[in-house]
Amino acid sequence: MMRRGILLVGSLILSLTLAAQDYHDLASQAFDASQHDSLQKAEILYKQALEKDPTNRLNSMLFSNLGTVQQRMGKIDEAIESYSLALNLAPQSVMILLNRASLYLQKDLLDKAYIDYCNVLDVDRKNEEALLYRAYIYTRRRSYKEARIDYNTLLQKLPEHRMGRLGLALLDQKEMRYREASEIFNRLLEDDPNDTSILKARANLELEMELPDMALLDVNNVIRLTPNDAEAYLMKGDIYLVLKKKKDANKAYDKAVSLGIPRPEVLNRMKEQEN
């Protein structure tokens, strides 16, 4: 009886050891598959590993990796679910919170993204990604005072943060602080005169400030740098309408259509500008 008991204990230890090896092997294979873009294979292997040992303390990492694989596959809802399961096991993981928040933003679920970014900032008070995107959410909500606090906190930490400076400029524009917005755009363009996204943003500001000639200069610079920028031709058409140059506007709008802008969108823009 004692010998049989020893054999049973030995058998149990061996089976547990093999199960653990299977779990780690599957997890390792899944990681290797994800590194070689075998995403479907990686997803299957991660799920098999999780099924093999549902109580393993490493499962938060596996659920997180599974979420990342699903995100890369375009399975956004499944990825959110995997990140949520990971957070059940590691609720203060900054990386996992940021990953899930980015997917909530992608789906325009601002309230859920906001909660995740707040939870990140509870752990890491000056996390730049959380500050940047929480400020963006505040701006979308028209909570401009709170947005400004987050942008300023970010820029105190990283004064040259491009997206933070751009976000603050756009916030200034929304609050009609045109001089402050213009100064930020000008400094950004001093750093990179060929940044077409900033040139277009400054052109929009100049148009709002009723400076269409300056806006046209910026848009023409965008077109010089990126001749197939459909949005730039759309903006050029808007500016020509403000300048009462309808023939030039039609030519710019036709070019925008030839570059992929739907004709109905152009017609709506023309009606808005003329009203």
What does the pLDDT look like over 79-90, one tens digit per residue? Answer: 999 999 999 999
Residue 122 belongs to a domain: no
User: Structural domain of residue 272, as residue ranges?
Assistant: 211-275
Predicted pLDDT at 201: 97
In a domain, 171, yes or no: no
Residue range 55-73, pLDDT digits in tens: 998 999 999 999 999 999 9
pLDDT at 2 over 60: no
63-70 contacts at long range (C-beta below 8 A, 24 or more positions apart): 63/89, 64/93, 64/95, 64/96, 64/99, 65/30, 65/31, 65/34, 66/30, 67/96, 67/99, 67/100, 68/34, 68/99, 69/30, 69/34, 69/39, 69/42, 69/43, 70/43
Instruction: Provide the number of structural domains found in the chain.
Output: 1
Identify the residue whose tokens are 């997206």: 163
Whether residue 199 is contained in a domain is answered as: no
Residue 240 lies in a domain: yes
Model pLDDT for residues 94-120, shown as the tens digit of each residue: 999 999 999 999 999 999 999 999 999
Residue 177 lies in a domain: no
pLDDT at 22 over 90: no
What is the pTM for the complete model shown? 0.85
pLDDT digits (tens, 9 = 90+) for 151-202: 999 999 999 999 999 999 999 999 999 999 999 999 999 999 999 999 999 9
Determine the Cα–Cα distance for residues 60 and 55; give it in Å rounded to an integer. 10
The pLDDT assigned to 274 comes to 67
Residue 5 has pLDDT above 50, yes or no: no
Most distant CA pair in the chain, distance: 102
CA dist 150 and 168 (Å) reads 10
Q: How far apart are CA 66 and CA 86, in angstroms?
A: 9
Residue 109 lies in a domain: no
Mean pLDDT of 111-134: 98
Taking CA atoms, 167 is separated from 88, 120, 148, 233, in Å, by 33, 20, 9, 24
Q: What is the pLDDT of residues 230-258, one digit of tens each?
A: 999 999 999 999 999 999 999 999 999 99
Closest CA to 122 of 89, 147, 85, 97: 97
- pLDDT of 16: 42
Residue 159, in any domain of the structure: no
pLDDT grade for 3, boundaries at 50, 70 and 90 = very low
Q: Quick one: pLDDT at residue 24?
A: 87
Q: Is 184 exposed, middle or buried (0-12, 13-18, 19+ CB in 10 A)?
A: buried
pLDDT at 143 over 60: yes
The string of pLDDT tens digits covering residues 260-270 is 999 998 888 88
CATH number of the domain that residue 215 is part of: 1.25.40.10
3-class secondary structure, 148: helix
Could you tell me if residue 155 is inside a domain?
A: no
